[in-house]
Amino acid sequence: MSPKERRKEIVELVDSGEPSTPAELATRFGVSEDSIRRDLRVLADRGLVRRVHGGALPRSPAAIPYGERVEQQPLVKQRIAARTADRLAALRAVCLDGGTTVLEVARRLPSEFRGTVVTVSLPVATELAARSGVEVVQLGGRVSGFSHTVIGSDVVDALRRYRFDVCVLGVCSLDPRAGLTVPDRDEAFVKAAMVERSASVVAVASRTKLGTAEPFLVAPASAVGTLVTDADPHEPLVEALMGMGVEVVCVPGE
């Protein structure tokens, strides 16, 4: 098998969730671990996988522009959002991140909610602007055309002036080893500030976001208090997260 063919198969294995440590891949393909490490470096340089300690992970399906994500998995997002929004009714200070699933959470914010929503998301602020009883704070900063959120040092500084009951994070990538990661450095700083200033962290993520990784770290996986997802509760990734102390709320499919 040529290196090109081997690398193609490695990408397929990583994307399918197969074990991907250098030792396991070396045994599978009958080559040295050094050869596998070279393969992983090449694949990571091409953006086909993300290297992590001990192997590789697939890239997140969320690492595409916002406009392309809006129509993806609408029913999954709605089920996750409905379960998440129910938790917000009695709170007073909520931070809503960007992302298409968080937008669905905003749409389902309980009618009895009477508090302040601080957001970096332009679509979320627009969605809640006409809601009575809800004070909406749209933070200011440089607008990302990729995520439709505001980013930059001004946003980070503003977030650090708040103390939130909860932040609801849109997840790009979450993995027990790699943590919460995103493809954009500035977005990582903004999300990290949300986590830092929140009494609890709720992450919303479809199964496709789990076990993936991007270059920039937001926080270790253990920083997530609650994960709301459509993943099966018996999946090894889910069990690993629960073993780290993360409450996992699994929303079954229809």
Q: Domain check: are 17 and 138 in the same one?
A: no
CATH code where residue 197 lies: 3.40.50.10470
The predicted structure's pLDDT at residue 146: 82
Cα–Cα dist 141/50, whole Å: 29
Q: Domain check: are 88 and 122 in the same one?
A: yes
The predicted structure's pLDDT at residue 23: 84
Residue ranges making up the domain that contains 144: 66-250
Q: Domain check: are 192 and 76 in the same one?
A: yes
Least confident of 24-28, 67-71, 136-140, 215-219: 67-71
How confident is residue 37, by pLDDT bands cut at 50, 70 and 90?
confident
Cα–Cα dist 98/43, whole Å: 29
CATH code where residue 52 lies: 1.10.10.10
Per-residue pLDDT averaged across 151-172, rounded? 97
pLDDT: which is higher, 65 or 241: 241
- Whether residue 68 is predicted with pLDDT greater than 90 in this model: the reply is no
Predicted TM-score of the model (pTM): 0.78
The predicted structure's pLDDT at residue 124: 98
Q: Tally the domains of the chain.
A: 2
How confident is residue 64, by pLDDT bands cut at 50, 70 and 90?
low
Q: Domain check: are 101 and 75 in the same one?
A: yes
Q: Domain check: are 80 and 126 in the same one?
A: yes
The predicted structure's pLDDT at residue 252: 81
HEC secondary structure over the chain: CCHHHHHHHHHHHHHCCCCCCHHHHHHHHCCCHHHHHHHHHHHHHCCCEEEECCEEEECCCCCCCHHHHCCCCHHHHHHHHHHHHHHHCCCCEEEECCCHHHHHHHHCCCCCCCEEEEECEHHHHHHHCCCCCEEEEECCCEEECCCCEEECHHHHHHHCCCCECEEEEECCEEECCCEEEECCHHHHHHHHHHHHCECCEEEEECHHHECCCCCEEEECHHHCCEEEECCCCCCHHHHHHHHCCCEEEECCCC
Q: Domain check: are 44 and 102 in the same one?
A: no
What does the block give as tokens for 161? 């002036």
| 101: nearest Cα among 87, 115, 117, 85 | 85
Beta strands in 133-207 (DSSP E): 134-138, 142-144, 149-151, 166-170, 173-175, 179-182, 201-205
- Whether residue 137 is predicted with pLDDT greater than 90 in this model: the reply is yes
pLDDT: which is higher, 59 or 86: 86
For the segment 174-187, what is each residue's pLDDT rounded down to a tens digit?
999 999 999 899 99
Q: Domain check: are 12 and 71 in the same one?
A: no
The identity of residue 97, as a single letter, is D
Per-residue pLDDT averaged across 219-225, rounded? 98
